[in-house]
Chains A and B, each alone.
Chain A
Amino acid sequence: MHATLIGLALALAPGLPDAPESVATTNGVVVNGAAAPVFAIKATTVVVGDGNVLENGIVVIEGGRIRDVGVGLTLPEGTNLVEHDGVLTAGMVAPQSNLLPASERTDSTRPFLEGAELRFGFDPQTQACEQAAAAGITTAVLTPAASNVVGGLTAVVKTHGGKVVKGKAHLALSVNAAAANTDRYPTSYSGVIAELDARLGEGAEGVYAEARSGALPVLIAATTEADAQRAMALAKRHGLRGALLGARRVGEQQVESLRSSGLAVVFDSFGPGLGERSINAMLAVVEAGLPFAFELTDATRFRFDGAALVRAGADADTVWKAMTSGAAAIAGVGDRVGTLRRGLDADLLLWSGHPLDLTSVLEAVYVGGERVHGGDDQ
């Protein structure tokens, strides 16, 4: 299924007519036709995403992928060069999202839906996807609602173009209050854990066996500290790897537990009104050097959550790395997106300044080498 989709997307690019030579300048950004098979972008600052920053770096894009990254690269004859006075980064990644409409994320028929695949509910034509792409979130994980104990198998998708990067990316679990529903079994945390233990324990089968072996990462919805404690204990018992979804308070008293669990945290979207206590707890996770990322609910606010942590004292480059390469690793597609590296998808963002400076403007977005937002089209 997803092979077909990828094929479709790849087929699109060469099908387009050659881009005109036209070079227009808007707000200091030089753009060209996006679909050229080989082109390059030179930016004042290139944030590679692995910790390196290149002054006047060049990224060469070919066939929708990154062919080369460096400084003073010799470009092949006739390569279009886009010169950008600003910052070039990889596209942002959301390891948890509400890109699927609520009706497609919630199945109230059974609490255990290990066979459900979220990608079958994916509709790339929705406004949510469009907004995400326009805001620079180029890759997102389709996650189910937390109301089922086992929510299904996630998928990693591009927010523009409908490409499914990875199906069956994670097994989505939930140990929070929503999973302990009051009107069907299980109604208790004990029941939730007992059922998960039974499925993930010795003799696990199918996707549970894959999760137990570590081959299939898990995303565990855990809202409160107590949920996080249960989730980490569960992961420890069964050797699960993956991430907690939600647990924004986990940093307050559980940093060491989190570290030893090996799990990452995907903070739920919080917005500007969040209390100092939660911010401090998240900051503790950042300062402990543990992997974290952010949930996508409202694309226009996604960047603000990262900026809020920076404002509270977190290192901006650390947070940005988490929003790109870090999040890609949590999503399980670190070898495809999140970093500017040869062979990875050319999902690129052109900024007027540092992306976590809220006065910076996102001037252009490329997905798979295709400019999907910004430039003279606006």
Chain B
Amino acid sequence: MIVSTLAAACAAVLFSGPVAGPVIGGVATDDYINGVASDDQETKRSWTISADAIYTADGSVIENGFIRVQDGKIVAMGPGGPSGGDVIRVGAITPGLIDLSLRVAASWNTVEQGSEVTANMRMADAVDLFDEDWQRALRGGVTTALATPLDRNVIGGLGVALKTGGEPTIEARQVAADVVLRGCVGSLPSSGNRPAFQRPNSIFNRRPTTRMGVEWEARKAFYDAMVAAADESKSFPGAEQLQAAMAGELPFMVQAATTQDIRTTLFLKDEFGIPNLILDSAAEAWKEPQMVQRSGASVVLPPFTWDGRTDVDGAAMPWNTAAGLAELGVTFALSGHGSSEPDQRLSMQPLYAMRGGLDFDTALASVTRVPAEMIGISDRVGTLAIGKDADLCLWSGVPFEATSAVVGVMLEGDLVVDPRD
């Protein structure tokens, strides 16, 4: 939290003085004064930010406009707006970025390896809110992220959508808990397992040790959940969540990077009629894009790399992948995988996707509105509108240009990175 006392003092002058701007959105000027704490360390609760362009991420752009924020929400926005010492001026404003594959705080202790299918395990219970990567993600403009268990189980459990900063409690940070059921195919769920030739000496003497084993475990889990739905005596921990995924109430998010793993996952979707499937790290979706398109699954792409090699299962992803999926109408989001490299951050990914031919509007949506919709939190975040959370990404210039940078970040009305510094 960086709020300078000086800034707060300036604010008091502006809003109590005769030059105070027009009151927009029905908020009385007094409220601003009351919200300004110039003498103590209290957080400033109201801000006005103006920009050359405000990209709302629902298709509209406000040229030379402003956003007014109070008590963590957007209370007013539009063209023009007040100017003066207190108004923060930046090049552009976009919604705070949303990363569905940030992979922050995914330690070994976030995956319950007592079994290979643990659909009822909650990441909300395991996530480490004190991991320094949260701070880094926030500084890079990511204000909301999905945290899921480490991908070592076939079905690992329930993901939680969190704000990347704020009071370090789950209640304060969660946008919504248990928003996806996380699964994983490919080489990872079997990577730690080994067969027991004589006497098993570890919980890792078990299936699966192959991709086919992984798929079998996934199918068995869903099948058992179907049986349990019909016969309550056969229920088991996690059956409820698997049933919810089959009913479409809970998105099923599966890490599947290579073409074969994407096929496997789409096959599961088809067999068990899972309506809402999110393919995570689906680098090779470009190889069989029609298959993905027909399935109706949505996609989260891993970060672009200069040589096309991604970090999961060595899957290859050329830079026109996003553009290709957009052309076919596949719903997709970009992700940053929590890279500590500034140039791999989520805020840079649209640049690479656009270099591969993606248009600006789709690129913007793929890091804001679309990921919010994918996990059902778009009522609060993902676009800029009155009443939405005041999660803002402030840019020095046109977003996603190599010559522009994220210069400020606001999270629920707190200016966590001050563009004036």
Contacts and interface: CB of A to CB of B under 8 A. Distances in A.
Contacts of B111: 187-188, 190
B120 to A, nearest CB: 7
B112 interface: yes
B168 A188 contact: no
A184 B203 contact: yes
Contacts of B110: 188-190
Interface in A226-271: 226, 229-230, 232-233, 253-254, 256-257
Q: Is the interface of A mostly helix, strand, loop or mixed?
A: helix
Contact of B126 (A184, A190, A232): A190
A146 to B, nearest CB: 13
A230 B126 CA distance: 8
A194 B122 contact: yes
Interface stretch (A26-34, A42-50, A91-99, A175-183): A175-183
A187 B111 CA distance: 7
A224 interface: yes
Interface in B99-131: 105, 108-115, 118, 120-123, 125-131
B109 A187 contact: yes
A191 B105 CA distance: 16
Contacts, number: 88
Contacts of B167: 256-257
Contact of B109 (A180, A184, A253, A256): A180
A186 B114 contact: yes
Contacts of B149: 188, 190
B168 A189 contact: no
Contacts of B112: 185-188, 190-191, 194
A191 B203 contact: no
Interface string A113-139: 000000000000000000000000000
Given A233-B169, A254-B168, A188 B113 contact: yes
B114 A233 contact: no
A187 B113 contact: yes
A191 B110 CA distance: 9
Given A190-B125, A194-B121, A194-B122, A257 B169 contact: yes
A60 B247 CA distance: 75
B251 interface: no
Interface in A187-238: 187-194, 224-226, 229-230, 232-233
Chain A interface extent, by class: 20 to 34
Interface string A151-194: 00000000000000000000000000100101111111111111
B109 A177 contact: yes
Nearest to B237: A194
B60 interface: no
A193 B111 CA distance: 12
Contact of A226 (B113, B130, B171): B130
Interface residues of B, number: 31
Contacts of B233: none
Contact of A225 (B120, B130, B157, B171): B130
B170 interface: yes
B202 interface: yes
Contact of B114 (A191, A224, A229, A257): A191
Contact of A191 (B121, B128, B169, B204): B121
Nearest to B172: A257
A182 B114 CA distance: 9
Nearest to B120: A194
Contact of B125 (A194, A224, A253): A194
A185 B121 contact: no
A191 B168 contact: no
A245 to B, nearest CB: 18
Given A177-B109, A226-B128, A229-B169, A185 B114 contact: yes
A349 to B, nearest CB: 38
Contacts of A188: 109-114, 118, 121, 126, 149
Contacts of B121: 188, 190-191, 194
A183 B113 CA distance: 8
Contacts of A233: 169-171
B108 A193 contact: no
A183 B203 contact: yes
Contacts of A185: 112, 114-115, 203
B176 to A, nearest CB: 17
Given A180-B109, A229-B169, A229-B170, A193 B126 contact: yes
Contacts of A182: 108, 113
Contacts of A184: 114, 203
Contacts of A193: 122, 125-126
Contacts of B125: 189-190, 192-194, 230
A229 B129 contact: yes
A253 B111 CA distance: 26
A194 B122 CA distance: 8
Contacts of A192: 125
B61 to A, nearest CB: 38
Given A187-B113, A233-B169, A226 B202 contact: no
B243 to A, nearest CB: 18
B116 to A, nearest CB: 12
Contacts of B131: 226
A225 B122 CA distance: 19
Contact of B128 (A183, A224, A232): A224
Nearest to B152: A187
Contacts of A257: 167-169
A256 B108 CA distance: 29
A187 B107 CA distance: 11
A231 to B, nearest CB: 11
Contacts of B168: 225, 229, 253-254, 257
A254 B129 CA distance: 11
Contacts of A183: 202-204
B108 A190 contact: no
A281 to B, nearest CB: 12
Nearest to A234: B125
A277 B115 CA distance: 39
Nearest to A256: B167
A92 B251 CA distance: 56
B118 A191 contact: yes
A162 B120 CA distance: 46
Interface string B75-113: 000000000000000000000000000000100111111
13 contacts: A183-B204, A185-B203, A187-B203, A188-B111, A188-B149, A189-B110, A190-B122, A190-B157, A193-B122, A194-B120, A229-B168, A233-B171, A253-B130
* Chain A to chain B: the 6 pairs with minimum beta-carbon distance, closest first: A185-B114, A189-B126, A193-B125, A190-B121, A226-B128, A188-B112
Given A186-B114, A190-B112, A226-B105, 8 more contacts: A180-B109, A187-B112, A187-B114, A188-B111, A190-B118, A193-B125, A253-B130, A257-B168
Interface of A: 177, 180, 182-194, 224-226, 229-230, 232-233, 253-254, 256-257
Interface of B: 105, 108-115, 118, 120-123, 125-131, 149, 157, 167-171, 202-204
